[in-house]
């Protein structure tokens, strides 16, 4: 009897979980469908959209009109570059806060998080003026620095949480064996925190990939990533849903594929230390 209830509940849970999953995924699925429809068909009722003929026309138009490979290359460099830069600063910072905390560590952590509460547009002009002076406007280097600074609090917070799970005794044992600070971080701490670091890297690459305020406002013709590529297909006067959908699919496909293949690592990292 008990087994029957359990399996019924299992079925219900599975159906509900799949239902919620499908609901969340549905907008992306619809974008993919629209991207294979003619512009005139894309605005019709859902049934008419589904029964309309399929076409690759939008992809060929987008390919012909835009320099996709340049935008893609910029996105890859900016998102991975900013994440690597962030890690270089965040690993030692998180290490010191996790293993050598001071009286102010908690305040510093909260302060770092509070910088995320400031609306980005509030600092647009100061940053724009600094970029003009430093010659960083429309450069990949400039964007890497800005996105690194934006995501740094998240990277430090995540690494801090993972490092806190690592027993300090292991690090002390390494020190007793004569390991230097660099060796301690590189050869003892890092291998143990790999799942956490991997999910931190993945999450930050996704955040940087999708960032659409600074990447639109600080770029022009040279460093514009895929967010600018999508923005060029949106229009308040004219229906370009099918082309916009094709551009969106081309922009999100790489990060979706990356997320798909690394989902195990991502989930493992995000739940790291959740159950003790």
Partner 1 sequence: MKLNKTLRVATAISLFAAGGAFAETITIATVNNGDMIRMQGYTSEFTKQTGIDVNWVTLEENVLRQRVTTDITTKGGQFDIMTIGMYETPIWGKNGWLVPLDKLPASYDVNDILPAMRNGLSADGTLYAAPFYGESSMVMYRTDLMKKAGLTMPEKPDWDFIRKAAAAMTDRANEVNGICLRGKPGWGEGGAFITAMSNSFGARWFDMKWNAQFDTKPWRETLTFYKGMMDESGPPGYATNGFNENLSLFQQGKCGMWIDATVAASFVTNPKDSTVADKVGFAIAPNKKGIDKHSNWLWAWALAVPAGTQKQDAAMKFIEWATSKAYIELVASKEGWANVPPGARTSLYENPNYKDIPFAKMTLESINLANPLKPTVDPVPYVGIQFVAIPEFAGIATDVSQQFSAAYAGQQSIDEALAKAQALTNDAMEAAGYR
Residues that bind partner 1 (CB under 8 A): 38-40, 43-44, 65, 124-125, 128-129, 132, 137-138, 216-217, 220-221, 224, 228, 231-240
CB of 25 vs partner 1, minimal distance in Å:
25
CB of 28 to partner 1, least distance (A): 20
**Smallest gap, in angstroms, from Cβ of residue 75 to partner 1?**
16
Q: Give the shortest CB-29-to-partner 1 separation in angstroms.
A: 21
Q: How far apart are CA 62 and CA 229, in angstroms?
A: 10
Is 34 or 203 the residue whose CB approaches partner 1 more closely? 34
Closer residue to partner 1 (CB): 70 or 84: 70
For partner 1, the closer of residues 133 and 169 by Cβ is 133
Which CB sits closer to partner 1, 178 or 236? 236
Taking the least distance from each CB to partner 1, the nearer of 138 and 183 is: 138
Minimal distance, residue 146 CB to partner 1, in Å: 14
């Amino acid at each position: 009897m008990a087994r029957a209830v359990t399996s019924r509940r299992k079925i219900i849970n599975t159906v509900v979980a799949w239902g919620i999953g499908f609901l969340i995924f549905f907008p992306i699925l619809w974008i993919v469908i629209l991207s294979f429809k003619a512009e005139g068909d894309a605005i019709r009722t859902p049934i008419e959209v589904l029964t309309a003929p399929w076409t690759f026309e939008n992809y060929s138009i987008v390919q012909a009109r835009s320099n996709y490979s340049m935008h893609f290359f910029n996105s890859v460099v900016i998102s991975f570059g900013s994440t690597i830069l962030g890690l270089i600063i965040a690993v030692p910072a998180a290490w010191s806060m996790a293993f050598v905390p001071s009286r102010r560590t908690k305040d510093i952590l909260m302060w770092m998080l509070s910088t995320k509460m400031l609306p980005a547009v509030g600092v647009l002009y100061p940053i724009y003026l600094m970029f003009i002076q430093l010659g960083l406007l429309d450069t990949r280097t400039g964007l890497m620095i800005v996105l690194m600074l934006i995501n740094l609090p998240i990277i430090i917070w995540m690494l801090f949480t993972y490092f806190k799970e690592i027993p300090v005794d292991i690090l002390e044992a390494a020190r007793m064996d004569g390991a230097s600070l660099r060796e301690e971080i590189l050869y003892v701490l890092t291998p143990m925190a790999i799942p956490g670091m991997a999910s931190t890297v993945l999450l930050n690459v996704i955040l940087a990939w999708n960032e659409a305020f600074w990447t639109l406002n600080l770029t022009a013709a040279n460093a514009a990533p895929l967010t600018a590529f999508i923005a060029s297909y949106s229009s308040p006067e004219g229906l370009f849903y099918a082309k916009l959908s094709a551009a969106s699919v081309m922009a999100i496909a790489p990060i979706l594929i990356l997320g798909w293949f690394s989902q195990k690592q991502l989930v493992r990292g995000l739940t790291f230390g959740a159950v003790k």
